[in-house]
Amino acid sequence: MPGPVSPRGAGARAGGHGAATGRRTAPGAEPRTARVPAQRSAPGSARPAPGRAAGRDVPGRPVPARPARPPRVTARTRAPLRVRRQKILLALSLVLLLVCAGRLVYVQAIAAPAFAAEALRGRTVTQVVPAERGEILDRSGVVLATSVERWNIVVDQKQLADWKKDGDSAAHAAELLAPLMGTSAAELGPKLLGDSTFTYLVKGVPPEVYEQIMKLRIMGVWGERVSQRLYPAGTTAGTILGFVGTDGYGLAGLEQVYEETLAGQDGSDTYERGEGGQRIPTGEEQYVAPQPGRDVQLTIDRDLQYTAQAAIDAQVAATGAPWGAVQVVDTRTGEILALADSGSIDPNNPGGNAQPSRAASYTYEPGSTAKAISMAAILETGVATPTSQFVVPYQYATPNGEVFKDSHAHGDLPLTLTGILAESSNTGTVMVGQNVPPQVRLDYLHKFGFGQRTGVGLPGESPGLIVDDVSGWDHDGRSPYAVLFGQAVGATTLQNTQVFATLANHGLRVQPHIVAAVEDDDGVLQPVELADPVQVVSAETADTVVRMLESAVTEGTGGNAEVPGYRIAGKTGTAQAFEGGGVVKTVASFIGIAPADDPRIVVNVVLYDPKTSIYGGTVAAPVFSQVTAQALQHLGIPPSGTVPELFPTTYP
């Protein structure tokens, strides 16, 4: 009989996995339970709760899933990983190689010209090549101012610090350079040390010295080409010429006035320079030639200028005058043959006290020399003749009550008009000259050049001081008379010289000038343009005044101006100059014409505030005689061949 059947589910509950097999249990035997392999807890899994058998299912709760076991790393699994890493490294290497290759292509092919240009700029220097400044010549072509090539020696102290020779760079460089620079190594050494990239060691060395320095090949030492102005005649005509500054620009005199003509156009020299500062022979070069300046030829005669300067310097020293001046002018052409100022500068070393020529800049009352203008006006208007007779008192009162005196007390003098001029009488000049209308008096002063610049071409020329018309005298009763003997009017020495040159040239006023010609673009000296001549008075009047002035030398106040063998016409002057604070100084002068019978030159001698005498006949006339004698001989002007026919100066 079959045994009893277990209730449904009993096996499952009792045997667990055995029931699941579907096996039957033998009758009377105990049911077998399936063996379940022991399970390992995954790392970090929870322990069984206390009181609960491990490995047993909890009734009514699901069995948790067992975590997957990680794959074991074996030789077979390790190989693909290594290959992957190698591929990554290879890829990175290829990328880096491509970057480097691209950069190389950029540098070598694309950016190469830019880099090369930058490197070239670093090696390239450009130096100014100074234009050769034009020369200034005297009337015969003698050089008064010229330019020569010179070099400034420069050091880059940083480059020199890298130069090694015999172990002590700066000290050894100083020993090599000092003899060539005219100094000692001890003095030169400190200039070689420091952080400056540009320091002058010496300026103005000749080209041959520069070449010797460059042959030393001292790193950081190089040359800067410059043009140096030289004045071979030294102080002769120094004040006229002026000078140039360290930058090569004219700062005074004709160097300043004719700067654009003389300067030219600078060029440039661009080249590659090596580490030591030397030119690279095979390097890039670009040279732009300078355009030389143009020459300027003067009317000045160098030898006559020297004579005039020496004479006035000596007389200034002898009389204690602060300064003096001498002018020699060709009466026919207006050419200034000499324009001498005492104490002329040396343009080679002008210093800080250089003064412009006083010939055209200093204004003072001309004094008695202006009486020549009054005589010309008196003759031209028919007021009197050279032989007209007058009784001249020491003191004279004009119709409006103004009182004038002569320089020396005297009784009434029987003088002709020529005698009034010869004796330089103020009262006589006013007595006769007041018959010339005031406007006419003023007109003649203007006609002879007062109140206007001469156009001589010197810097700082003054037009002088004079009223424009007679209305300027409306509230001044004295000036209309004072101008007759050279007061109440201001003029320069050159304007006074021009008056006598006009009379000597038969009344024809020509422009006084100091520049004769200027070189054109073709290298040809072209005469300068001058103002048209002006006939101031008739030739007859002018010649008559010159004849009257001859009496002033032979019978009047100008006896010290005589030159043996030559007839001389001239006039002494004692004038006033006003300084600040109302201080009055005296100006002594003599202006003369030679030869009087055939005028060729006018010479004006001026001494400012002489201490030995205030009279032109005493201090100025002897200098006139000395300078005029040498000028006549130097110019080859023959002695006078006629005996003067003088007008009488007195009457019975």
Q: Where are the domains of the chain?
A: 126-296, 302-345+356-634
Q: Are strands 363-364 and 403-405 parallel, antiparallel or unpaired?
A: unpaired
CA atoms lying within 13 Å on the CB side of residue 605 = 35
Q: Give percent above pLDDT 90 in the chain.
A: 67
pTM beyond 0.85, yes or no: no
Flag the least confident range among 83-87, 93-97, 463-467, 539-543.
83-87
614 residue type, one letter = I
**What's the confidence (pLDDT) of residue 51?**
45
Mean pLDDT for the stretch of residues 70-82: 66
User: CATH number of the domain at 302-345+356-634, out of 3.20.20.80, 3.90.105.10, 3.40.710.10, 3.40.50.1820?
Assistant: 3.40.710.10
Flag the least confident range among 17-31, 384-398, 414-428, 541-555.
17-31
> What confidence category does residue 217 fall into, taking pLDDT thresholds of 50, 70 and 90?
confident
**What's the confidence (pLDDT) of residue 84?**
80
- Among 414, 368, 418, smallest CA distance to 392 is for 414
pLDDT reading at 626 higher than 90: yes
> What confidence category does residue 59 fall into, taking pLDDT thresholds of 50, 70 and 90?
low
Mean pLDDT for the stretch of residues 1-14: 42
**What's the confidence (pLDDT) of residue 278?**
65
DSSP string, 183-196: S-HHHHHHHH-SS-
Cα–Cα distance for residue pair 282/491, rounded to 1 Å:
66
Residues carrying an active site annotation: 368
**What's the confidence (pLDDT) of residue 5?**
43
> What confidence category does residue 77 fall into, taking pLDDT thresholds of 50, 70 and 90?
low
pLDDT tens digits along 421-474? 999 999 999 999 999 999 999 999 999 999 999 999 899 899 999 999 999 998
pLDDT reading at 119 higher than 70: no
> What confidence category does residue 275 fall into, taking pLDDT thresholds of 50, 70 and 90?
low
Q: Which fold has domain 126-296?
A: Penicillin-binding protein 2a (Domain 2) (3.90.1310)
- Among 563, 576, 539, smallest CA distance to 621 is for 563
- Among 121, 145, 149, smallest CA distance to 135 is for 145
CA distances from 52 to 14, 35, 56, 321, 619 (A): 17, 19, 8, 143, 152
pLDDT reading at 419 higher than 80: yes
Cα–Cα distance for residue pair 107/122, rounded to 1 Å:
18
Mean pLDDT for the stretch of residues 332-350: 96
State the chain's mean pLDDT as an integer: 87
Phi, psi of 421 (to 5 degrees): -70, -45
> What confidence category does residue 45 fall into, taking pLDDT thresholds of 50, 70 and 90?
very low
**What's the confidence (pLDDT) of residue 168?**
60
pLDDT reading at 576 higher than 80: yes
**What's the confidence (pLDDT) of residue 7?**
40
pLDDT reading at 43 higher than 80: no
